[in-house]
Structure 1
Amino acid sequence: MIIRLFIFLLVVLGLGWGFSWIADRPGLISITWQDHLIETSIMVAATMVVALIAAVMIVWWVIGVIWTSPLSVRRYFRTRKRDRGYQALSTGLIAAGAGNAVLARKMSIRTRGLLSADQEPLIHLLEAQAALIEGRHADARAKFEQMAEDPETRELGLRGLYMEARRLGANEAARQYAEKAVEHAPYLPWAAQATLESRSQSGRWDEAIQLLDQQRAASVLERGEAERLKAILLTAKAGERLEGDPNGAREDAKAALKLAKGLVPAAIIAAKAYLREDNIRKAASILESAWKIEPHPDLGRTYVRARSGDSTLDRLKRAEKLEALRPNNIESLLVVAQAALDAQQFPKARAKAEAAARMQSREAAYLLLADIEEAETGDQGRVRHWMAQALRAGRDPAWVADGIVSDKWLPLSPVTGRLDAFEWKVPFGQIEGPVEDGTLAADEAIATLPAITIREDVTPAVETPENESINQVVADMQPVVVPQEDLAVAAKTPTATNVTAEQPPEAEKQDEPVPFFGRPPDDPGVKDASAEKSPTRLRLY
């Protein structure tokens, strides 16, 4: 518009300058035509020429308007009809989005009468959406198939077919629609995500990684998310190659660790691959690096049992090295406590397990204390005490995805097939219950621990001093014979040690009439004469 105005101003200025130039240079024009002499000034002649040109232009415009008036009239009504059709199409799409099936169907019919489906492909979309709302899924699928054949609406039609296949549970058909969409448009998020999950479920890790790289190049995924998903795919690939190709599994796991340094499964796979090559140093380095980022029980078990020929004391030293890397951590304390239990160093195991319970009231700490109690004292009362504390304590974290708890990490959710779904956390269904402070709960549990009750069929563990011989220890554990006179005094005096009395040997019993059922009567008024004539043995612990 501004350009046209500028050109108009230039034309007006040009005419004004031309008339002014002619006015400054007067003259006379004579024309002889058929014995007629016509004389006029230059100014008049120029004015007549301009007026003639303007008249011709006006006449030409009038003739053009009259000539094109039928076309103009048709164009006017066609434009009006098109506008009404687009208005009906817009109203119908809004009604379909709102779930108004009646209005959507009405606007669909009106749009069909006002617009041509060949010129406006959105009419197919409106009809398909109206059919879906009304429950006519077969008609909707037919519309989506028709749209999938048109290059202009191919992506929209494939998405509709994909959603219908997912609704019907036809996962293979949905996968094929997504694959077809990715071939033409790898930048579509829904198609790329579905294809990525389907390729991962079928174990086509290389194709999944290639598609992920395409998404990253097309800026469909952010850099951090793309690197995380690629690390998951590399870890899954390494896990499958670990048995048959340890070298390839090691390289894939190391590449995954470069993208996600705290990925525990990748660190474990890389370490196991190095261990298969007897490269303990590099395996330990990878596990230690991962332990510094995030202490995990699986890392601790793999690190402590890196060499199958190590003694329990060697494993304890390795566990203590992990504790030095991440001190004041519950996982470090539990690893050391378990290693100390395996090495039968019960005081250290008990101290570490109690420290872990004080740091965080978790069932793993109390179950470990129960194992220590079973191995050290064999007292079932104390074992049951720790088991009861484990029931009250908070649950241990586990690999959880979509409500499913797994004992090992998986790259995909078994429920939805979603990639990178598993998280190391406390299962949601196990959070219920009283929330207690770890230190207070552990202190109360330790304070209420029952005293040791020694059973005759259980030999307690005895710590042998280094300067004392085995014979001396065995001699101290022999039964002590106490006279009957001291027995009455001992029975009246309470002691901290539980005492169990044995009946005298059969050889020392005096001849006497055998009572009913071969034993003295149950009447407390009848005394056993043999008890006064023979000493009683006591076993003291």
Structure 2
Amino acid sequence: MRFLLWLILFIALFVGAGLWLTQHDAYISLTWGDYIIQTKRSVFLTLCAVLFVLFWTCASSIHWFVGLPGRIKRYFKRKRELDSWKHLALGLSSLAGGNIPNATKHAKYAKRSANSDTQPHVALLQMQIAAKTNQFKELKNLSNAALINPQTEAHTLKLLFDAAEYERDTMKALTLLETAYTKYPDQAWVLLPLLTFYHQQKNWVKAKIVLHSLKKQKLISSALCDRYHAIYAIEEARFLIRQGNYKAALHLAKHAYKLAKDFIPTIETLALTMSKCGDNKDALHLIRKHWVKTPHPVLGELYRRIALLPSHLSLSMLAESLWKANPNHPESAAVYAQLMVENKQYAKAKEKLVEAIRISQKRKLFEGLAKVESQLGSSADTINALLRQALQAPGEPSWICHDCSHVMPEWNASCEHCHHFDTLAWDRVKIASLVGNPRIYEDFKAINLDQ
């Protein structure tokens, strides 16, 4: 290209000079030793032009022949690169179609013609084949070649993470996810497993950061995000309660309640924290407020425990106030009866329990009535009949993991058996125990249940 430009420039100059000489042509004399050459300017200029063209042509030809080996080398290098890309494409197509042998063959051909640009992609293809065939040791050996290229690094980290999960190497998997998160904080395959790991480790601080990234990428709904934040706050508040830092726990409990007001654990945690801070009146009021819509046994038990604390309010008045909040629900009768028993007003307790049993024959009601009858001095036959009815009644609901059906005594952020996050729900046990709950009979040890 440069040669053509120079040639065009020279021709233009030559034509311009020729036009000038048509008007100013004259003879010139050239001295070469003893020789004197006399010629016209036009002839001399034409001779110089011919000699220049010949010199330029020879120089360009020499330059082309000198660079020929390099051009041949670049041609074959480019051809090998194209062959490598072709076999890579065929290998990926075969892998997507499930043809592992054909994909392996193309990966082998691609590796033969690979260069520095295609080698990471070839290594990634071989890693994908190794992952499909569960050859995770080979997968790890190939990872170094694929990690050096930014285009293949993300896929390589994902394959290494899958391999670590397959081998149940939790720490290795977590390290890979944290490495990937620093470079690819918007990838779903990084964020979702990383959040799961932090949930299992109860690392709520880091879980909040990852949850924020998930919400930013619109990979999680706002409602679920608020629920998770509420659960984090509940767990942190419970930890502070165990440490005796009730004021900080109250702040977190209020934050959790603000995010999920109808979530039973948030109500329970806030009421418990209020009670720990000495504000029993507000704690009881909070439970009564939610008792209208959700007369939950957990809230009822907490209400009973707080009501038994020293207070200027009588147990009778506290029991009546909870009963009036939802008088037609059996849980109201159960809590009322428990408080009346504590207050030694057995007749009132029996009255409410009998009314509740007519509506709902729950195991808890028969247990409470049996306890009241024992305090009233009823016969062993009467008490035994009530206990048999309690055994025949449906089992009481519990906190059950929906993933593994594990039953837990109290709500927790994660199941203690499968460690899955937010899987506990208040539900009835599918297979009821044949002997019932042993604590039913703690107050009736002297009674012969076989009669």
Do they fold alike, i.e. is TM over 0.5? Answer: yes
Deviation by residue 1:428-476 (Cα, 9 ceiling, x = unmatched): 33399xxxxxxxxxxxxxxxxxxxxxxxx99xxxxxxxxxxxxxxxxxx
Give yes or no for contact 1:146–1:157 (8 Å, CA) kept in 2.
Answer: no
Deviation by residue 1:183-240 (Cα, 9 ceiling, x = unmatched): 2223333432333343344443223223322322232211111111111111100110
The farther-off stretch of 272-281 and 113-122 is: 113-122
Distance 1:119 1:299, change over 3 A: same
Give yes or no for contact 1:165–1:174 (8 Å, CA) kept in 2.
Answer: yes
Q: How many residues align?
A: 368
Q: Does 1:366 align with 2:372?
A: no
Distance 1:218 1:169, change over 3 A: same
**How far is the alpha carbon of 1:280 from its aligned partner?**
2.6
Equivalent-residue separation in structure 2 for 1:101 and 1:378 (angstroms): 78
Residue identity in the other structure for 1:421: T
Give yes or no for contact 2:121–2:146 (8 Å, CA) kept in 1.
Answer: no
Q: Which residue of 2 aligns with 1:513?
A: none
Q: Which residue of 2 aligns with 1:405?
A: 407
Question: Helix, strand or coil: the match of 2:328?
Answer: coil
Distance 1:413 1:162, change over 3 A: farther
Q: Which residue of 1 aligns with 2:187?
A: 188
Distance 1:342 1:220, change over 3 A: same
Equivalent-residue separation in structure 2 for 1:188 and 1:357 (angstroms): 55
Q: Which residue of 1 aligns with 2:250?
A: 250
Q: Which residue of 2 aligns with 1:154?
A: 153
Distance 1:360 1:220, change over 3 A: same
1:293-372 to 2 correspondences below 5 Å: 293-310=293-310, 314-372=314-372
Distance 1:428 1:114, change over 3 A: farther
**How far is the alpha carbon of 1:79 from its aligned partner?**
9.7
Distance 1:94 1:199, change over 3 A: closer
**How far is the alpha carbon of 1:101 from its aligned partner?**
3.7
The farther-off stretch of 373-382 and 163-172 is: 373-382
Deviation by residue 1:494-516 (Cα, 9 ceiling, x = unmatched): xxxxxxxxxxxxxxxxxxxxxxx
Q: Does 1:212 align with 2:214?
A: no
Question: Helix, strand or coil: the match of 2:400?
Answer: strand
Q: Which residue of 2 aligns with 1:426?
A: 428
Equivalent-residue separation in structure 1 for 2:141 and 2:414 (angstroms): 33
Question: Helix, strand or coil: the match of 1:411?
Answer: coil
Q: Does 1:126 align with 2:128?
A: no
Q: Does 1:138 align with 2:137?
A: yes
Q: Which residue of 2 aligns with 1:238?
A: 237
Give yes or no for contact 2:238–2:249 (8 Å, CA) kept in 1.
Answer: yes
Equivalent-residue separation in structure 2 for 1:179 and 1:278 (angstroms): 43
**How far is the alpha carbon of 1:358 from its aligned partner?**
4.0
Q: Which residue of 1 aligns with 2:162?
A: 163
Residue identity in the other structure for 1:336: Y
Q: Which residue of 2 aligns with 1:172?
A: 171
1:417-496 to 2 correspondences below 5 Å: 417-430=419-432
Residue identity in the other structure for 2:394: G
Equivalent-residue separation in structure 2 for 1:261 and 1:119 (angstroms): 56
| Structure 2 runs not aligned, ≥5 long | 1-21, 23-71, 435-445
Distance 1:167 1:311, change over 3 A: same
Residue identity in the other structure for 1:413: C
Give yes or no for contact 1:187–1:220 (8 Å, CA) kept in 2.
Answer: no
Deviation by residue 1:343-372 (Cα, 9 ceiling, x = unmatched): 333343234334444444432222222222
Q: Does 1:88 align with 2:90?
A: yes
Equivalent-residue separation in structure 1 for 2:118 and 2:205 (angstroms): 42
Distance 1:82 1:107, change over 3 A: closer
Question: Helix, strand or coil: the match of 1:418?
Answer: coil
Equivalent-residue separation in structure 2 for 1:345 and 1:308 (angstroms): 15
Residue identity in the other structure for 1:131: A
Deviation by residue 1:249-305 (Cα, 9 ceiling, x = unmatched): 111111111111122222222222222332233222332333344222221122233
Q: Does 1:263 align with 2:260?
A: no
Distance 1:77 1:175, change over 3 A: closer
**How far is the alpha carbon of 1:141 from its aligned partner?**
2.3
Equivalent-residue separation in structure 2 for 1:126 and 1:300 (angstroms): 60
Give yes or no for contact 2:87–2:106 (8 Å, CA) kept in 1.
Answer: no
Equivalent-residue separation in structure 1 for 2:392 and 2:303 (angstroms): 31
Distance 1:93 1:395, change over 3 A: same
Question: Helix, strand or coil: the match of 1:428?
Answer: coil
**How far is the alpha carbon of 1:117 from its aligned partner?**
7.4
Equivalent-residue separation in structure 2 for 1:261 and 1:371 (angstroms): 35
Distance 1:186 1:295, change over 3 A: farther
Equivalent-residue separation in structure 1 for 2:139 and 2:81 (angstroms): 30
**How far is the alpha carbon of 1:397 from its aligned partner?**
1.0
Equivalent-residue separation in structure 2 for 1:117 and 1:416 (angstroms): 46
Distance 1:187 1:413, change over 3 A: farther
Residue identity in the other structure for 1:301: E
Distance 1:350 1:214, change over 3 A: same
Question: Helix, strand or coil: the match of 1:425?
Answer: strand
Q: Which residue of 1 aligns with 2:58?
A: none
Give the TM-score normalised by the residue count of structure 2: 0.70
Residue identity in the other structure for 2:187: L
Q: Larger Rg: 1 or 2?
A: 1
Distance 1:330 1:121, change over 3 A: farther
**How far is the alpha carbon of 1:329 from its aligned partner?**
2.0
Residue identity in the other structure for 2:159: G
Equivalent-residue separation in structure 1 for 2:189 and 2:113 (angstroms): 34
Q: Which residue of 2 aligns with 1:199?
A: 198
Give the TM-score normalised by the residue count of structure 1: 0.60
Residue identity in the other structure for 2:295: P
Residue identity in the other structure for 1:415: H
Paired-residue identity, %: 22
Equivalent-residue separation in structure 1 for 2:362 and 2:339 (angstroms): 18
